[in-house]
């Protein structure tokens, strides 16, 4: 599995930039679709909904996993998963520069893909559905994400991408579409239901919250659900572009890199690939030694003496 994951990450990281970006667009867009599904299931959640909060969060986490299922099954490129391209880099198959290129193109492509979905959902006026209940879930979620402390957001990001990369690992282990989807569902439901932070998911949710707060105007703030909640636009003054970038996306991205690159990719590289590579090199050297002696030169000490 470690070798298969390393090979997969190497294959993605060495694609031409245009192809990488193209696949990253759908990576960001499909995770956005998962978050849309999540928001839809969370409308009306509260003390009067009749469901325990844990159950509603579990439902939200399970439906959100649809996003990663679409990413994996379509072969799209997701920044949080690409952090595991550290594996072929540690094996010296991929340069640090190529790894950084992969991460950068994937991140930018995911952001553009997520923002395209934000624009489509805004044009569709989905936030106004059910008397504004859909949009209310988004702005409340956005405000909650922007209230996190910097270190807290990093820690939540670590846990989110630990789960996401383990879900990708489980998908690699699956032999059928059903195997892969079941492998993905558990870890993703775990991270979403618990409230961990995923940078690519937030590339949709936070800009969507900003658009609802600053663009929709009286049509949203005067809707039935918003009026019943007793909130106004002034209550969401923290939803600004600078807060989105500095107070969430930046620390969450740092945490995602730690959780995916170090705690999954790097961890299992040390557990499995480091020893295997050492054994492969030793075997290659042993196989090469007789051939080197046969041509009349002993190269075992650097080739400085002729064989006698």
pLDDT digits (tens, 9 = 90+) for 146-203: 999 999 999 999 999 999 999 999 999 999 999 999 999 999 999 999 999 999 999 9
- Widest CA span of the chain, in angstroms? 94
**Residue position matching structure tokens 């995923």:** 198
Say if residue 280's pLDDT is above 90: no
pTM of the model: 0.90
Say if residue 252's pLDDT is above 80: yes
Say if residue 293's pLDDT is above 90: no
Say if residue 297's pLDDT is above 70: no
pLDDT tens, residue by residue, 55-100: 999 999 999 999 999 999 999 999 999 999 999 999 999 999 999 9
Say if residue 304's pLDDT is above 80: no
Give me the domains of the chain, ranges plus CATH numbers: 2-296 (1.20.1080.10)
Segment 275-286 mean pLDDT: 82
Give the pLDDT of residue 66: 97
The angle subtended at Cα 6 by Cα 248 and Cα 83, nearest 5°, is 10
């Amino acid at each position: 599995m470690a070798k298969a994951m390393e090979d997969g990450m190497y294959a993605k990281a060495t694609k031409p930039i245009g192809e990488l970006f193209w696949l990253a667009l759908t990576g960001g867009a499909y995770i956005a679709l998962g978050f849309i599904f999540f928001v839809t299931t969370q409308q009306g959640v509260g003390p009067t909904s009749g469901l325990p909060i844990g159950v509603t969060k579990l439902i939200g986490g399970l439906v959100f996993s649809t996003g990663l299922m679409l990413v994996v099954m379509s072969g799209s490129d997701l920044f949080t998963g690409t952090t595991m391209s550290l594996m072929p880099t540690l094996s010296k198959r991929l340069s640090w520069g190529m790894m950084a290129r992969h991460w950068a193109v994937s991140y930018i492509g995911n952001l553009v893909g997520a923002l395209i979905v934000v624009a489509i959902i805004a044009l569709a006026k989905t936030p106004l559905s059910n008397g504004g209940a859909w949009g209310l879930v988004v702005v409340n979620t956005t405000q909650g994400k922007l209230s996190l402390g910097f270190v807290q957001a990093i820690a939540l990001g670590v846990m989110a991408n630990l789960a996401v990369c383990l879900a990708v690992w489980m998908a690699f282990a699956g032999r059928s579409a059903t195997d892969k989807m079941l492998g993905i569902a558990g870890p993703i439901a775990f991270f979403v239901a618990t409230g961990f932070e995923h940078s690519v998911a937030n590339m949709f949710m936070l800009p969507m919250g900003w658009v609802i707060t600053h663009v929709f105007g009286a049509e949203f703030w005067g809707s039935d659900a918003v009026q019943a909640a007793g909130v106004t636009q002034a209550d969401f003054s923290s939803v600004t572009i600078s807060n989105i970038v500095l107070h969430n996306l930046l620390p969450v991205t740092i945490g995602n890199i730690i959780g995916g690159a170090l705690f999954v990719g790097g961890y299992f590289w040390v557990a499995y690939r480091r020893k295997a590579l050492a054994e492969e090199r030793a075997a290659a050297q042993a196989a090469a030694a007789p051939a080197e002696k046969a041509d009349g030169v002993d190269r075992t000490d650097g080739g400085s003496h002729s064989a006698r």
